[in-house]
């Protein structure tokens, strides 16, 4: 996950990049995920107060089909090409020689939380068409906060469902980042120029 802010674009906008990297060598995919973040600020007495979200994106978006092409590579290296970006698996990724196929994915992301202090996005793979499974490699999210404070605090947590294998051989693992009870916390200075963090 990446976190960024560009005050020259919109002083109150905070952007998140959330990525899911499937492992084709193990036939693993992310089937669903949740990402929730709460925003606030500290008042003059140092007490935490909530901020109300003015806008967020996406709110409800059907993912377009993305072609994932696995090309002919050596046994010790497999290139995964998605759109204009290319990610390479090193020696840990094994692939059979002269294997070449294309897989399509599509997913839906829904966001809610406008006029509240908490934004929540849910990600769900599209199971409606054969071959379209797994979440997209990258999602771009943003919220717009009131431009009334230069410093905000954030509390966020996320979880994702990783599925290995198919059918009766499928195994499910829940991956978590923080929790509702003990979320990750982060402060950001919105007046300090462009910033990016991971």
What are the boundaries of each domain within the chain?
Answer: 2-62+107-192, 66-105
Tokens of 28: 């693993």
Q: Looking at the predicted structure, is the pLDDT value of residue 73 above 90?
A: no
The answer to whether 99 and 150 have CB atoms below 8 angstroms apart is no
Angle in degrees, CA 165, 86, 164, rounded to 5: 10
Q: Which residue has the tokens 């759109």?
A: 83
Rounded to a whole number of angstroms, the distance between the first and last alpha carbons of the chain is 6
Q: Which residue has the tokens 């990049």?
A: 17
Element (H, E) at 85: strand 85-89
Residue 90 pLDDT level (bands cut at 50, 70, 90): very low
Tokens of 104: 């399509």
85-89 sheet: strands from edge to edge: 85-89, 78-82, 66-70, 101-105
Q: Greater confidence, 127 or 5?
A: 5
Helix H segments across 14-149? none
Map residue 74 onto helix, strand or coil: coil
Pairing of strands 171-177, 151-164: antiparallel
pLDDT given at position 133: 73
CATH label, 2-62+107-192, candidates 1.10.3720, 2.60.40, 1.10.3470, 1.10.10: 2.60.40
pLDDT given at position 80: 34
pLDDT given at position 24: 64
pLDDT given at position 174: 94
Gap between the Cα atoms of 198 and 192, Å rounded: 17
The answer to whether 99 and 70 have CB atoms below 8 angstroms apart is yes
Instruction: List, in order, residues 6 or more apart from 36 with CB less than 8 Å away.
Output: 118, 119, 120, 121, 156, 157, 158, 180
On average, the pLDDT of the chain sits at 75
pTM: 0.71
Residue 191 pLDDT level (bands cut at 50, 70, 90): confident
Instruction: Judge residue 139's burial from the number of C-beta atoms within 10 Å of its C-beta, 0-12 exposed, 13-18 middle, 19 or more buried.
Output: buried
Map residue 167 onto helix, strand or coil: helix
């Amino acid at each position: 996950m990446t976190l960024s802010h560009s005050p020259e674009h919109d002083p109150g906008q905070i952007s998140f990049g959330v990525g899911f990297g499937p492992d084709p060598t193990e036939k693993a995919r992310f089937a669903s995920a949740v990402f929730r973040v709460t925003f606030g600020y500290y008042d003059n007495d140092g007490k935490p107060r909530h901020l109300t979200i003015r806008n967020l994106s996406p709110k409800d978006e059907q993912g377009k089909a993305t072609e994932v092409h696995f090309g002919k590579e050596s046994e010790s290296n497999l290139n995964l090409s998605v759109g204009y970006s290319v990610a390479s698996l090193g020696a840990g990724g094994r692939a059979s020689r002269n294997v070449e196929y294309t897989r399509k994915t599509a997913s839906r992301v829904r966001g809610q939380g406008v006029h509240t202090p908490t934004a929540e996005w849910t990600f769900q793979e599209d199971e409606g068409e054969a071959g379209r499974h797994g979440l997209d490699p990258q999602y771009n999210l943003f919220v717009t906060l009131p431009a009334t404070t230069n410093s905000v605090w954030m509390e966020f947590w996320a979880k994702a469902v990783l599925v290995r294998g198919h059918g009766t051989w499928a195994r499910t693992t829940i991956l978590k980042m923080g929790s509702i009870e003990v979320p990750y916390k982060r402060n950001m200075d919105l007046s300090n120029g462009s910033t990016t963090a991971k």
